[in-house]
Amino acid sequence: GTVVLMNPEDAHACNPLRDVPWSYRMLYVDMAWLVEMQQAADFTPYAAVASTDPHLYRSLDRLFDVLFDTEVEVLAKECAAVGFFGDLDKRLERIEAPLAMATPHLDRAADFITAHCTRRLRLTEIADVSGLSPSYLVRAFRTRHGMTPHAYQLNRRIQYGQSELRRGRPIVDVALSAGFADQAHFQRVFKQHVAATPRQYARPASGHAAAAEAQP
């Protein structure tokens, strides 16, 4: 009964809580189209991370039914999408103006973290790049991305680790090159983010490679 929202380009992980079964249906919505729905020059992020509004949940459920019904005409689907996201804009608050104005600064901080995610970073270093004070950076970054700069860095390190594991590199090498102290630390954080161990994650890739090589 919960609608989870992620603003465009926000880092996120769709992992279930430990020992809690769940399922979800997801839509990736074009940002330029969302800007049209907001009737604005630029996209203004939504403040909510999740909503338990029953009307919003039922409306999203109905939208899915319409969009994925092969007997429904395209025009009806377009009207349903416009209706839902137009209502969404009325029901959800957007991030306050001061934070919206700080978005370019926060984007610089996020880009810097991404570019240097594998090395040890200091908060003052990120603040200097962003042009924001350390205290405001942490507060605004959490509101903008739903996590602290450090959590964002860990997220990017894990994404880097996933990429390197897909290349077939040994886990211990990936752990150290991603900036973790040792393989054990990498494995703990990796499992928290991916809901699988590095070895489990890498295994399908090697299996697909072997299958591909075996084909004539």
For the chain, which residues make up each domain, given as ranges? Answer: 3-91, 96-207
Q: Tell me what pLDDT residue 174 has.
A: 95
Q: Tell me what pLDDT residue 97 has.
A: 59
Q: Tell me what pLDDT residue 113 has.
A: 95
Q: Name which of 47, 56, 43, 79 is nearest 1 in CA terms.
A: 56
Q: Tell me what pLDDT residue 209 has.
A: 40
Q: Tell me what pLDDT residue 212 has.
A: 35
> What angle, rounded to 10 degrees, do the helices at 198-214 and 149-166 form?
30
Q: Tell me what pLDDT residue 79 has.
A: 85
pLDDT along the chain (216 residues), means of 10: 81 68 84 78 74 89 92 87 82 67 85 94 91 83 84 93 93 95 93 90 58 36
CATH homologous superfamily for the domain 96-207: Homeodomain-like (1.10.10.60)
| Measured CA distances, 50 to 15, 16, 56, 92, 166 (Å) | 15, 15, 11, 10, 32
Q: Tell me what pLDDT residue 61 has.
A: 93
